[in-house]
């Protein structure tokens, strides 16, 4: 009989949620509100082709692209993070030496766990939260505990109480256009969580992959900007602003943390693939990004407005939906205790519509039964209307 390591057991529930999510859509005709992918229309195919043709020459960056490189990532890309992307988050004066390029946006969460989580440690998460991260945390045998949230993010009193009760080592926060709710943590709460981490000496893992996709409202400074004791590890991804297939992300943290992450990275996979790093760095250095991100924002804004219009038109009265200021997700709450969105999903799939059912985003059993996450950015207007009206019919039948 196979005798797996303990972590295979501790992660099994969240792993099942992720497995089901990835296998939710088997029929290609399905209108897929479940996917968190950026829209194909926002992927810079032509620019990347042009860059790749030039890079992959012997007298271009061809040898560099195909050789081993530095575990921290190529300097060009670390400079773009430190000198261009982080200042847009209010983080000034970062050094490229405090940045480590990762393989996608999940790997920074992996470094954080490798560095700070021992089996049995408590890790606090938002309620609801991104289940892929929970799967990772459980793989490290962490005890994941939910902190209550409202429209401004984590409720500080609950955070304080749970941090004290469990002596939590780390708090995982997606402050901007959160996954799954699309909500954004307020400025006051950002300050308050950073102050608490500084005072009580726990780590905040700030995960910010949607922040550049703001299409309404004002930018807010990162939690990291309020960190005076190096307790915040800032994680981000290039997946939603460049390309998910290139698997690029990064952490920005104090040098001693990055130095230790260097060791983890070396031991894990030596370094992130060089060719995607060069393609991405050149993409920014050639000045393509500002127009590209402006187009993507306008594109998603229009999709959001259409999705909201159809929700208001078709969904039963009393359905709660937020108006996300950015990102890819909206969160629906159906005004009925008769509904279980997991059962609704099975019925919806028969009608070629998929979404993610609410319970999958909670750790505690019994939560989220009347809730669901809808990803709207990558669908056509026709798909948005057909998908939302079909779902609304199924919901009305059930309530
Ligand atoms: C909150 C959050 N963090 C991290 C990631 C991982 O990003 P990547 O696809 O770059 O690994 C995602 C992707 O959906 C996400 O929603």
DSSP string of 51-77, one letter each residue: HHHHHSSTTTTHHHHHS---TT--HHH
36 lines ligand 1 (CB under 6 A): yes
C-beta separation of 241 from 271 below 8 A: no
In angstroms, the CA 221 to CA 44 distance is 27
Residue 103 pLDDT grade (very low, low, confident, very high; cuts 50, 70, 90): very high
**Nearest-CA residue for atom 2 of ligand 1:** 209
pTM above 0.95, yes or no: yes
pLDDT at 14: 85
Q: Domains of the chain (ranges plus CATH)?
A: 6-43+291-398 (3.90.1150.10), 46-285 (3.40.640.10)
Distance (Å) from CA 63 to ligand 1 centroid: 30
108 lines ligand 1 (CB under 6 A): no
Pick the range with the lowest mean pLDDT from 7-16, 258-267, 365-374, 389-398. 7-16
174 lines ligand 1 (CB under 6 A): yes
Six token digits for residue 284: 């920014």
Residue 378 pLDDT grade (very low, low, confident, very high; cuts 50, 70, 90): very high
In angstroms, the CA 72 to CA 100 distance is 5
Residues across the chain: 399
Give Cα 230 to chain centroid, integer Å.
22
* Residues in CB range of 362: below 8 A, 6 or more apart: 127, 128, 146, 368
In angstroms, the CA 116 to CA 235 distance is 15
State the Rg of the chain over Cα: 21
Six token digits for residue 79: 């400079």
237 lines ligand 1 (CB under 6 A): yes
104 lines ligand 1 (CB under 6 A): yes
Q: Which tens digits make up the pLDDT trace of 27-82? A: 889 999 999 999 999 999 999 999 999 999 988 899 999 999 999 999 999 999 99
Strands, DSSP E only, in 143-264? 143-150, 153-154, 170-173, 203-207, 232-237, 249-252
Max Cα-Cα span within the chain: 66
pLDDT at 146: 98
């Amino acid at each position: 009989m196979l005798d797996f390591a303990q972590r295979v057991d501790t992660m099994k529930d969240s792993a099942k949620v992720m497995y089901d999510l990835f296998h939710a859509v088997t029929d290609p005709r399905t209108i897929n509100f479940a996917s968190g992918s950026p829209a194909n229309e926002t992927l810079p195919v032509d620019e990347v082709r042009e860059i790749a043709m030039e890079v992959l020459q012997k007298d271009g960056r061809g040898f560099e692209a195909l050789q081993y490189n530095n575990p921290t990532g190529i300097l060009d890309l670390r400079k773009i993070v430190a000198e261009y992307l982080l200042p847009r988050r209010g983080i000034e004066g970062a050094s490229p030496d405090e940045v480590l390029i990762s393989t996608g946006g999940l790997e920074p969460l992996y470094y954080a766990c490798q560095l700070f989580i021992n089996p049995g440690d408590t890790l606090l998460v938002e309620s609801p939260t991104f289940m892929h991260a929970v799967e990772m945390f459980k793989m490290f045998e962490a005890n994941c505990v939910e902190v209550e949230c409202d429209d401004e993010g984590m409720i500080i009193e609950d955070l304080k109480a749970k941090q004290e009760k469990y002596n939590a080592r780390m708090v995982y926060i997606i402050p901007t256009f959160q996954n799954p709710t699309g909500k954004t943590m307020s400025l006051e709460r950002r300050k308050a969580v950073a102050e608490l981490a500084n005072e009580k000496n726990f780590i905040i893992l700030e995960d910010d992959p949607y922040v550049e996709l703001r299409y309404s409202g004002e930018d807010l400074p990162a939690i990291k900007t309020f960190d005076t004791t190096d307790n915040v590890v800032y994680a981000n991804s290039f997946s939603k602003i460049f390309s998910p297939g290139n698997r690029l992300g990064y952490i920005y943290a104090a040098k001693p943390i990055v130095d230790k992450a260097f060791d983890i990275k070396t031991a894990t996979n030596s370094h992130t693939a060089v060719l995607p790093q060069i393609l991405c760095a050149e993409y920014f250095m050639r000045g393509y990004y500002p127009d590209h991100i402006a187009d993507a924002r306008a594109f998603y804004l229009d999709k959001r407005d259409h999705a909201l219009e159809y929700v208001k038109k078709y969904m039963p009265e009393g359905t709660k939906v937020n108006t996300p200021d950015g990102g890819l997700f909206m969160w629906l709450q159906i005004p009925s205790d008769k509904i279980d969105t997991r059962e609704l999903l099975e019925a919806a799939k028969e009608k070629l519509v998929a979404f993610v059912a609410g319970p999958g985003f909670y750790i505690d059993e019994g939560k989220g039964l009347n809730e669901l996450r809808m990803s709207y950015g990558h669908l056509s207007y026709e798909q948005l209307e057909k998908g939302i009206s079909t779902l609304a019919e199924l919901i009305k039948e059930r309530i």
